[in-house]
Amino acid sequence: MDSKYNPVSIEQKWQKTWAEQNQDQTPTNNNQPKFYALSMFPYPSGNLHMGHVRNYTITDVIARLKRMQGYRVLHPMGWDAFGLPAENAAIDRGIPPAKWTLQNIAQMKEQLRRLGFSIDWDKEVATCTPEYYRWTQWIFLQFFQAGLAYQKESAVNWDPIDQTVLANEQVDGEGRSWRSGAKVERKLLRQWFFKITDYAEQLLNDLDKLPGWPERVRTMQANWIGKSVGAYLEFPIVGMDKKIGVFTTRPDTVYGVSYVVLAPEHPLTEQVTTPEQQATVENFIKEVAAESELERTAEDKPKRGVPTGGKAINPFNNKEVPIWIADYVLYEYGTGAVMGVPAHDVRDFQFAKQYDLPIKTVIVADDSDNDDDEMSEAYTDVGIMVNSGPFNGEKSTFAKKEIIQLAEDEGYGEGRIQYRLRDWLISRQRYWGAPIPIIHCPKCGAVPVPDADLPVKLPESVEFSGRGPSPLAKLEDWVNVPCPSCGTPAKRETDTMDTFIDSSWYYLRYPDATNEQQVFDSEMVNDWLPVDQYVGGIEHAILHLLYSRFFTKVLRDRGLCNFDEPFQRLLTQGMVQGITYKNPVTGKYIPFADVNPEEPKDPKTGDKLEVFFEKMSKSKYNGVDPLEVMAKYGADTARMFILFKAPPEKDLEWDDADVQGQFRFLNRVWSLVTQFSTNNSFSELKAKTNGITQADLKDLGWSRYLITEITKNISAFKLKNVVKVYAAADVKVAIEAKLNHSETQQETKDDLHKGLSWIEGRFGEELTKAEKDVRRAVHTAIKEVTEDLDGDYQFNTAVSEMMKLSNALSDASCKDSVIYAEGLETLLLLLTPFAPHLTEELWQIAGNLGSVHTHPWPKFDPEALVVDEITLVIQIKGKTRGTIQVPAKADKETLEKLARESDVAQRNLAGKDIKKVIVVPGKLVNFVVG
Ligand SMILES: [Zn+2]
């Protein structure tokens, strides 16, 4: 036996063995409760970083724990493999996107294997393979048939570097592309959309069904959906037979409208503009077109606008108001027009002040009527109506309903609910994505590619220039096809789908990942879903999670699954931060390898460096390579550190000293178990006790069932001494469960009762105090670790508990006892999900036959926590004179007796007259003397 802990060779050995034994395969039976543990799948960039390691370690611990707790577990992994980087690699280096992507996948898969993740690789999916995107296309056609996929001309975000359209969500707060960083422009194009707005209300309401999600994520989703309740009102245009429709949440302020604003892109803009204003309006439209949506609506930016010269009529009071256009009104949002009520809206107030538009108060606070005063800011609260015709004097909250009623009666408008959420733009003018399976026929319009012709494969001989339209649009042979419906020469759609579509359904494919006949078997998916625990980054709080929820609801409505929400519980893990050195003078980041941490200076300029923790990234030279850490300390230490250093949802600061600390802890566990095993020769013991036990049981006439049950529940450690309390507990539990089972035959029951009395007769031996102390430490650890993991996965405190237990075992004075063996075994079992390789190796060294990973999670015995003795304080006239140890359950009388007899009392009471004795059970005895 190797006496030194050698993580790398142990890890390689077990990874190989587990793979040969298919240990991570998903069970196919369904007589156990299911648990679906899912990590957000990675983009195959080629290299695993610490963020990945953290994400997948968390999920792996959960998966391994749940297996030990008796669940059948699905723990799959795949690749979010379409997207721009592969295409950029093709442009930069001439490598075909498919080749680049598959190479990266192979590399990352090997890295994941080395971390010892219990992933069922038979379930692997890669979204870029025809076997997968065939079904992405099929799902697109489901949306198309349901009227949820449609085309429209739209002002889109145009990335001038990548030459492609971006979704709003892919543009950052400064109006730049999320990938290229280019300043995004606006451009009109015909695009495919998914009608997510049809599901806005459900997506909002069903957030209530997700108590297992972080509150923060649910709030972000609710804000993104942005429900507002109000009214749609129409303002007739002077001199035209047309009306401007606006949405307002404050119809109670309609008498205060002093202008109406159209989005510059609104089709009515051109029609209402007077000849005098034409040049001004056209110039303004050009200026606004260069701005991104985020710039236009930024709260801290002054709003700009110009009058069109046109006028509209407020139908409530028949007053004419000017029509303006302004940058802050977006055509894609709401009706593309708003009513301006400067007295009661902050933005309108600023706009009116800036352009000298009238400000008319129509609501005042209850205690004031001085509505003629010059206002210094908008009054946005509710109050009493003034200057509002028939509604004067009413409460505004009440008038709001009456005004909507009036609008409906008179045909001015109606009550309406509006959402901030807009339809999802899914077209991409790119090659490396799933082609949209539509053929455009001059006679029939947009015709779906028949199911039998799916997948529409990506052609392979493609030139990547990085300029102009999608590479697909240049392939004549691929584009020109007959219409599947009428045979007329037609053209393929050349847009591919947003990669967010690929990731909106991958979790539905895993349970049935290799199905070639269907997108998935509904029965299998209904069995495994919803995902019990989803783990991933907070950056996906809105889009990926919202889209996945949307897909689930649509597929449910198509009869493909029977649940409303895909992810029962969500854990958003924090970032992994590295120590970062920055030169404050040059603004440059300095690699930590070049810096003396004692005295951080720029090696080139000598400037003193700023030192702080920040998310690991290549550009900041602060990353730690997981492979290097694994080579030095092993995967188990890397896992332990990541779990120990911070609660999973908090950011984690990489610290080499703490990595070493965890390495030392695993070494300590290694020596504890190997030393014990050397002294106790486990394998011999096991062979011997196995025989004795089984023979014993047979002598008692026990059934083969019972013998199997018992030996299954007794491991090598326990076999050392079956006649002690501890081993009995597990066997008793098994027998009692069988006794209570309704289908158990009377004959078997008699047998079981016989077994129980046998156990009770033989297992009653008293433990020594040292044994009781160890047993208390062991069962406290089981209780604490289980609670830490069953609640919110507080891995860090769970590791602390295990460290405490290892200390208690180190210090134990009963190292030849079965109770000590129980302690070691329990420590290994608790540690198993965290350090899977080390524990497996030690489990075998201890003489066990099966894998530690198939052993049940330890159960805690409340009786083990009971304390036998307590410390009693002895007082004389209220002053503490000493303490004695007494039985915890002793009554008042006994306590007084023990106190009187104690040395402390004898010494202090000699020759004194005891007037009164005060006994406080559990605490003290006070002698009042004269
Ligand atoms: Zn046709």
> For 90-143, how does the pLDDT look when each residue is reduced to its tens digit (9 = 90+)?
877 888 999 999 999 999 999 999 999 999 999 999 999 999 999 999 999 999
Cα 659 to Cα 637: distance, rounded to the nearest angstrom: 7
Amino acid 691: pLDDT: 42
Six-digit token string for 703: 């059934």
Over residues 627-639, the pLDDT tens digits come to 888 999 999 999 9
Instruction: State the distance from the centre of ligand 1 to the C-alpha of 491, rounded, in angstroms.
Output: 10
Is residue 386 a contact partner of residue 392, using CB atoms and an 8 Å limit? Answer: yes
Amino acid 803: pLDDT: 96
- 233 membership: H or E segment, kind and range: strand 227-236
Q: Spell out the alpha helix ranges (H) of 365-498.
A: 396-410, 476-479
Cα 210 to Cα 531: distance, rounded to the nearest angstrom: 12
Instruction: State the distance from the centre of ligand 1 to the C-alpha of 472, rounded, in angstroms.
Output: 21
- 497 membership: H or E segment, kind and range: strand 496-497
Assess whether pLDDT exceeds 70 at residue 348.
yes
Q: Smallest Cα–Cα separation from 36: which of 77, 72, 68, 64? A: 72
Instruction: State the distance from the centre of ligand 1 to the C-alpha of 258, rounded, in angstroms.
Output: 52
Instruction: State the distance from the centre of ligand 1 to the C-alpha of 457, rounded, in angstroms.
Output: 21
- Angle in degrees, 0-180, between the axes of helices 626-633 and 656-680, rounded to the nearest 10: 30
Instruction: State the distance from the centre of ligand 1 to the C-alpha of 688, rounded, in angstroms.
Output: 81
Assess whether pLDDT exceeds 70 at residue 706.
no
Instruction: State the distance from the centre of ligand 1 to the C-alpha of 869, rounded, in angstroms.
Output: 90
Which strands form 438-441's sheet, in the order they lie side by side?
445-448, 438-441, 489-492, 480-482
Q: Smallest Cα–Cα separation from 74: which of 116, 118, 132? A: 118
Over residues 491-542, the pLDDT tens digits come to 999 999 999 999 999 999 999 999 999 999 999 999 999 999 999 998 888 8
Amino acid 372: pLDDT: 55
Minimum mean pLDDT among 11-15, 33-37, 281-285, 791-795: which range? 791-795
Over residues 349-381, the pLDDT tens digits come to 999 999 999 999 999 987 665 555 577 889 999
Amino acid 748: pLDDT: 66
Label residue 681 by pLDDT band (50, 70, 90): very low
Label residue 696 by pLDDT band (50, 70, 90): very low
Amino acid 704: pLDDT: 42
Instruction: State the distance from the centre of ligand 1 to the C-alpha of 439, rounded, in angstroms.
Output: 9
Instruction: State the distance from the centre of ligand 1 to the C-alpha of 448, rounded, in angstroms.
Output: 10
Instruction: State the distance from the centre of ligand 1 to the C-alpha of 440, rounded, in angstroms.
Output: 8
Amino acid 1: pLDDT: 47
Instruction: State the distance from the centre of ligand 1 to the C-alpha of 12, rounded, in angstroms.
Output: 59
Assess whether pLDDT exceeds 70 at residue 814.
yes
Assess whether pLDDT exceeds 60 at residue 907.
yes
Assess whether pLDDT exceeds 70 at residue 584.
yes
Residue listed under structure tokens 């089709």: 267
Instruction: State the distance from the centre of ligand 1 to the C-alpha of 612, rounded, in angstroms.
Output: 63
3-state secondary structure of 344: helix
Cα 503 to Cα 81: distance, rounded to the nearest angstrom: 10
Amino acid 652: pLDDT: 87
Instruction: State the distance from the centre of ligand 1 to the C-alpha of 511, rounded, in angstroms.
Output: 38
Instruction: State the distance from the centre of ligand 1 to the C-alpha of 438, rounded, in angstroms.
Output: 12
Instruction: State the distance from the centre of ligand 1 to the C-alpha of 423, rounded, in angstroms.
Output: 28
Judge residue 571's burial from the number of C-beta atoms within 10 Å of its C-beta, 0-12 exposed, 13-18 middle, 19 or more buried.
buried
Amino acid 730: pLDDT: 57
Amino acid 837: pLDDT: 97
CA distances, 116 to each of 164, 657, 832, 836 (Å): 40, 23, 12, 7
Cα 300 to Cα 820: distance, rounded to the nearest angstrom: 67
Label residue 264 by pLDDT band (50, 70, 90): very high
Cα 61 to Cα 70: distance, rounded to the nearest angstrom: 14
User: Is the model more confident about 822 or about 71?
Assistant: 71
Q: Smallest Cα–Cα separation from 822: which of 766, 879, 873, 774? A: 774
Minimum mean pLDDT among 24-38, 294-308, 392-406, 560-574: which range? 294-308
Instruction: State the distance from the centre of ligand 1 to the C-alpha of 446, rounded, in angstroms.
Output: 8
3-state secondary structure 419-449: ECCCCEECEECCCCCCECCEEEECCCEEEEC
Instruction: State the distance from the centre of ligand 1 to the C-alpha of 156, rounded, in angstroms.
Output: 29
Label residue 169 by pLDDT band (50, 70, 90): low
| Mean pLDDT of the chain, nearest integer | 87
Assess whether pLDDT exceeds 90 at residue 887.
no
Cα 63 to Cα 55: distance, rounded to the nearest angstrom: 13
Instruction: State the distance from the centre of ligand 1 to the C-alpha of 426, rounded, in angstroms.
Output: 24
Global pTM value: 0.82
Residues in Cβ contact with 275 at an 8 Å cutoff, skipping those fewer than 6 apart = 309
Label residue 862 by pLDDT band (50, 70, 90): confident
Q: In percent, how much of the chain has pLDDT > 70?
A: 89
Judge residue 121's burial from the number of C-beta atoms within 10 Å of its C-beta, 0-12 exposed, 13-18 middle, 19 or more buried.
middle
CA distances, 873 to each of 707, 909, 910 (Å): 51, 15, 18
Instruction: State the distance from the centre of ligand 1 to the C-alpha of 302, rounded, in angstroms.
Output: 51
Label residue 760 by pLDDT band (50, 70, 90): low
Label residue 697 by pLDDT band (50, 70, 90): very low
> Which residues share a beta bridge with 179?
none
Q: Smallest Cα–Cα separation from 805: which of 830, 771, 777, 784? A: 777
Q: What is the mean pLDDT of residues 463-492?
A: 88
Judge residue 761's burial from the number of C-beta atoms within 10 Å of its C-beta, 0-12 exposed, 13-18 middle, 19 or more buried.
exposed
Amino acid 582: pLDDT: 87
User: Is the model more confident about 503 or about 846?
Assistant: 503
Largest CA distance in the chain: 122
Instruction: State the distance from the centre of ligand 1 to the C-alpha of 694, rounded, in angstroms.
Output: 78
Instruction: State the distance from the centre of ligand 1 to the C-alpha of 429, rounded, in angstroms.
Output: 24
CA pseudo-torsion sign 436, 438, 439, 441: negative
Six-digit token string for 28: 């196919």
Cα 466 to Cα 88: distance, rounded to the nearest angstrom: 8
Assess whether pLDDT exceeds 60 at residue 676.
yes
Amino acid 716: pLDDT: 39
Instruction: State the distance from the centre of ligand 1 to the C-alpha of 486, rounded, in angstroms.
Output: 4
Six-digit token string for 500: 């967010």
Label residue 655 by pLDDT band (50, 70, 90): confident
Q: Smallest Cα–Cα separation from 719: which of 853, 847, 855, 851? A: 847
Amino acid 921: pLDDT: 86
Residues in Cβ contact with 285 at an 8 Å cutoff, skipping those fewer than 6 apart = 264, 265, 269, 325
Instruction: State the distance from the centre of ligand 1 to the C-alpha of 498, rounded, in angstroms.
Output: 27
User: Is the model more confident about 190 or about 730?
Assistant: 190
Q: What is the mean pLDDT of residues 440-461?
A: 95
Instruction: State the distance from the centre of ligand 1 to the C-alpha of 558, rounded, in angstroms.
Output: 26
Backbone angles phi, psi at 418, to 5 degrees: -125, 150
Instruction: State the distance from the centre of ligand 1 to the C-alpha of 502, rounded, in angstroms.
Output: 29
Instruction: State the distance from the centre of ligand 1 to the C-alpha of 560, rounded, in angstroms.
Output: 30
Label residue 844 by pLDDT band (50, 70, 90): confident
Label residue 684 by pLDDT band (50, 70, 90): very low
Cα 662 to Cα 633: distance, rounded to the nearest angstrom: 9
Label residue 789 by pLDDT band (50, 70, 90): very high
**Radius of gyration, alpha carbons of the chain:** 36
